[in-house]
Structure 1
């Protein structure tokens, strides 16, 4: 229970269905001990803050279920915060929400729940789990509300994990979830949604990374145009991501975007829109929930809010690559690419080497 309305309604639905429910909040980040968190000008529009823990506790009390706070701060730092920082220092763009789901919610928490004798872990994710009677396998399917669907973040789920997880709000719209919350009189029925990274105040990730990194570990260098011209200097590749336009501080007749980052030389390349298009990429840590082999019918999302596009999966030994049917824009190393067959999540992985 993050303190938000989705996980709160998930708990309410399970209570209504007759489950023996235990409410749990994962304490991931100590806002009181992190210096930026104490700054009155800092803005944490997030989940899992101290106020959110209080909201979750009130909801649990309202539903008449026991409530506990589990301390996972060390695990969160290692698997999410350190990963996030290291990836940016290498000129890659990480996705901390995927890391949190993979290593915290559906790894550490699921393991602890089983040791405590629980049959399932339930969350407020907008996704669905269907059982395929023909193949005897579980399917991860998009949430009913296309605007809220979170199946993208769950691509690393396994058959074993899917058998032990429930997504009670996956077949509901956000509007329906709020109506249910109001029916139960939950304190967070009208609570606004968290939109930012939960451990970064004001969404200033470059400052967050710089404060936790020694000066000598920051990779500095040139900003060069794709045609080779020197445009400027920069103070660290951690400040940039592919497709970025703002913050380059370069005057140009035409808009310039970050097109690629060379972590070996510290060079950030920039260029006009036409330089952003790519033909495909290779995967790192590729994973399939259900093995469908190679198919031109796959669609891929190369970031959470991107539109799915047709692609061909290619396997050559241990190397898994993906070729777009039509070139795509701003393919970003470190981001997650997720494969779909219709509404089903087939699998995915981290974008590694990008093909021109």
Structure 2
């Protein structure tokens, strides 16, 4: 099988490509140039898309003896991921750029180009597993190492994309074993630190980065009753659940810390309150996708687990597909409250270890006497 291995310059993608070679596939490595700043170096960077990362990927490909290319997808990345990130925050939402990158770049633009060039599959270093169901369809499952499991950020894949995806690291029980394997293979990235944070914001200062791209105006920070308790220099960049950087002028009556409950971009207001006010009993959204056949009788409701962050614990829940005319909304009710869910986040649904699908959260609510009250 002809396999295109996406090589970020990290240890995971290098070992994944090596395992694809060992499996007898005809492997070609490719590094994605996603930044328009060609001179970006790793100094002070915590991302995965620097010039040095491209060189690390090339060195790994040389050790493996496979062809290697750098493909420029920076324009597509800027439009599909970066611009979306800015627009979502400007609207008071909290997006997940890694999930969007998988959805729109790695398993859309990259995979489409790979298939057009005659490749059969795309190999990545994601920690997730693919299995074949009794009817021959593919299923996405959690990785063997739950601490490294990345099935959450792959929850946006389609059946077609999953059919052309290879995740050789999925069964690996520990990241340390991947590093040991890389060292045995003579890969220089064996001890390279993991990338983290947002790759296009390498210094980790999301609010500072957004301030250069979204017009900001000072405004009030208020409590749930609307009483001013502080000020901000711009509402964009705050997210539900945030505790630090609130610039509060007065302490809470009980002395406990306050957290961001809502970001109201229409009034340029940040609403804060106690931690317990972050609890939500319902989340819903209209932008959903299923990885495989949707649950039978989804309109009647079905049992599942819901996960709202990449490293959050899954929570037992029920979900129901609600239709209002031609519009459909997936309504998820966790069996225990989930704290700090922000509009724009993705809620990924699981049945056991299997990824069932996902929905982008548009609204959240708490239940009062059985009635949903917007959070």
TM-score (norm 2): 0.89
Structure 1 residue 67 displacement after superposition: 0.3
Residue 116 and residue 32 in structure 1: after superposition, are their counterparts in 2 closer, same or farther (change >3 A)? closer
Task: Specify the alignment match of 1:246 in structure 2.
Answer: 244
Q: Within the alignment, does 1:261 sit opposite 2:263 as a pair?
A: yes
Structure 1: distance between partners of 2:69 and 2:290: 34
Task: Specify the alignment match of 2:371 in structure 1.
Answer: none
Write the mapping of 1:1-356 to structure 2, written as runs, cut at 5 A: 1-32=7-38, 43-133=44-134, 135-172=135-172, 173-213=174-214, 215=215, 218=216, 220-250=218-248, 251-252=250-251, 253-290=255-292, 291-293=294-296, 294=298, 295-317=301-323, 318-356=328-366
Q: Is the 8 A contact 1:141 1:151 kept in 2?
A: yes
Structure 1 residue 232 displacement after superposition: 2.1
Q: Is the 8 A contact 2:231 2:247 kept in 1?
A: no
For the aligned residue pairs, the C-alpha RMSD in angstroms reads: 1.6
- The count of residues paired between Structure 1 and Structure 2 equals 347
The 10-residue stretch of structure 1 (77-86 or 315-324) with the greater mean CA deviation from structure 2:
315-324
> Of Structure 1 and Structure 2, which has the larger fraction of its residues in helix?
1
Structure 2: distance between partners of 1:229 and 1:88: 24
Gaps of 5+ in 1: none
Gaps of 5+ in 2: 1-6, 367-375
Residue by residue, what CA displacement relative to the aligned partner does 1:218-277 show, whole Å, maximum 9, x if unpaired?
365321101221112222221310000000021412200001122222221101112111
Q: Is the 8 A contact 1:224 1:268 kept in 2?
A: yes
Q: Is the 8 A contact 1:256 1:273 kept in 2?
A: yes
Q: Is the 8 A contact 1:88 1:237 kept in 2?
A: no
TM-score (norm 1): 0.94
Structure 1: distance between partners of 2:245 and 2:129: 39
Structure 2: distance between partners of 1:284 and 1:80: 20
